[in-house]
A and B are shown apart, each in its own frame.
Chain A
Amino acid sequence: MEMTGAQVLVRSLLQMGVDTVFGYPGGAIMPVYDALFNEDGLRHILVRHEQGAAIAAEGYAKALNKVGVCIATSGPGATNLVTGIADAMLDSIPIVCITGQVNSFLIGTDAFQEADIIGMTLPITKWNYQISKATEIQYIISKAFHIAISGRPGPVLIDITKDAQQELLQFDLSQINVFDYSPDLIDEKFYFKAAQLINQAQRPFILAGHGITIAEAEAELEGFINLTGIPVACTLLGLSAVNPEHHLYVGMLGMHGNYAPNILTNEADLIIAVGMRFDDRVTGSLKSYAVNAKVIHIDIDRAELNKNVKADVPICGDAKVVLNQLKQHVIPRNHDSWVKRFKELYQIEHEVVISNETQKKDIGLIKMAEVINLLSKKTDGNAIIVSDVGQNQMTVARYYDFKNPRSHITSGGLGTMGYALPAGIGAKVAKPNTEVIVVCGDGGIQMNIQELAVIAQENLNLKIIILNNEYLGMVRQWQELFFDKRYSFTELLNPNFQKIAEAYSIPSLRVDDHSLLSQGIDQLLQAKTSFLLEVMVEKQGKVFPMVEAGSGVGDVRLQ
Chain B
Amino acid sequence: MNMYVMMLITQNTLCMLQKVAGVYSRYRINIEHLNASRHSESLSYWNVVVNTSDEKMELLINQLKKIVGLVEVKVIDKMPLSETVKSVINDKF
Q: Name A's B-contacting residues (CB within 8 A).
A: 118-119, 122-123, 126-127, 130, 147, 181, 301-303, 305-307
Determine the chain A residues whose CB is within 8 A of the CB of B26 once the complex forms. 123
Contact A130 B66 (CB under 8 A): no
Contact B65 A122 (CB under 8 A): no
CA distance A340 to B46 in the complex (A): 57
Contact A122 B22 (CB under 8 A): yes
Which of these, A119, A181, A306, contacts B58 with CB under 8 Å? Answer: A306
Given known A303-B63, A307-B62, contact A147–B68 (CB-CB < 8 A): yes
Determine the chain B residues whose CB is within 8 A of the CB of A122 once the complex forms. 15, 18-19, 22
Q: Does B81 count as interface, using CB distance less than 8 angstroms? A: no
- Interface pairs A-B: 9 shortest CB-CB: A303-B62, A127-B68, A303-B63, A123-B22, A122-B22, A181-B68, A122-B18, A302-B62, A303-B66
Determine the chain B residues whose CB is within 8 A of the CB of A147 once the complex forms. 68
How many Å from the CB of A283 to the closest CB on chain B? 16
How many Å from the CB of B12 to the closest CB on chain A? 14
Which of these, A119, A123, A303, contacts B65 with CB under 8 Å? Answer: A303
CA distance A118 to B15 in the complex (A): 9
How many Å from the CB of A181 to the closest CB on chain B? 5
Determine the chain A residues whose CB is within 8 A of the CB of B22 once the complex forms. 122-123
Which of these, A123, A181, A303, contacts B59 with CB under 8 Å? Answer: A303
Determine the chain B residues whose CB is within 8 A of the CB of A303 once the complex forms. 59, 62-63, 65-66
How many Å from the CB of B34 to the closest CB on chain A? 18
Q: Does B79 count as interface, using CB distance less than 8 angstroms? A: no
1/0 contact string of B7-43 vs chain A (CB within 8 Å)? 0000000110011001000100000000000000000
Contact A119 B18 (CB under 8 A): yes
> Would you give 19 A-B contacts (Cβ < 8 Å), ordered by A?
A122-B15, A122-B18, A122-B22, A123-B26, A126-B66, A126-B68, A147-B68, A181-B68, A301-B66, A302-B62, A302-B65, A303-B59, A303-B62, A303-B63, A303-B65, A303-B66, A305-B62, A307-B59, A307-B62
- Chain B residue with Cβ nearest A152: B66
- Chain A residue with Cβ nearest B63: A303
Residues facing A in B44-69 (CB within 8 A) are 58-59, 62-63, 65-66, 68
Determine the chain A residues whose CB is within 8 A of the CB of B65 once the complex forms. 302-303
Interface-central residue, B22, B59, B62, by most chain A CB under 10 Å: B62
- Chain B residue with Cβ nearest A308: B59
Determine the chain B residues whose CB is within 8 A of the CB of A181 once the complex forms. 68
How many Å from the CB of B40 to the closest CB on chain A? 15
Determine the chain A residues whose CB is within 8 A of the CB of B62 once the complex forms. 302-303, 305, 307
How many Å from the CB of A211 to the closest CB on chain B? 16
Interface-central residue, B14, B26, B65, B68, by most chain A CB under 10 Å: B68
Determine the chain B residues whose CB is within 8 A of the CB of A118 once the complex forms. 15
Determine the chain B residues whose CB is within 8 A of the CB of A301 once the complex forms. 66
| Contacts A181-B68, A306-B58 known; 18 new A-B pairs at CB < 8 A | A119-B15, A122-B15, A122-B22, A123-B22, A123-B26, A126-B66, A126-B68, A130-B14, A147-B68, A301-B66, A302-B62, A302-B65, A303-B62, A303-B63, A303-B65, A305-B62, A307-B59, A307-B62
- Chain B residue with Cβ nearest A301: B66
- Chain A residue with Cβ nearest B71: A180
Interface-central residue, A303, A305, A306, by most chain B CB under 10 Å: A303
CA distance A307 to B14 in the complex (A): 29
How many Å from the CB of B76 to the closest CB on chain A? 21
CA distance A301 to B19 in the complex (A): 18
How many Å from the CB of B11 to the closest CB on chain A? 8
CA distance A250 to B75 in the complex (A): 44
Determine the chain A residues whose CB is within 8 A of the CB of B18 once the complex forms. 119, 122
Determine the chain B residues whose CB is within 8 A of the CB of A306 once the complex forms. 58
- Chain A residue with Cβ nearest B59: A307
- Chain B residue with Cβ nearest A151: B66
How many Å from the CB of A58 to the closest CB on chain B? 20
CA distance A306 to B15 in the complex (A): 29
CA distance A147 to B67 in the complex (A): 11
CA distance A372 to B63 in the complex (A): 40
- Chain B residue with Cβ nearest A132: B14
- Chain A residue with Cβ nearest B13: A129
How many Å from the CB of B68 to the closest CB on chain A? 4
- Chain A residue with Cβ nearest B25: A123
- Chain A residue with Cβ nearest B14: A130
How many Å from the CB of A96 to the closest CB on chain B? 14
Interface-central residue, B19, B65, B66, by most chain A CB under 10 Å: B66
Determine the chain B residues whose CB is within 8 A of the CB of A123 once the complex forms. 22, 26
How many Å from the CB of B35 to the closest CB on chain A? 22
CA distance A127 to B19 in the complex (A): 10
CA distance A122 to B26 in the complex (A): 12
CA distance A3 to B18 in the complex (A): 34
CA distance A122 to B24 in the complex (A): 13
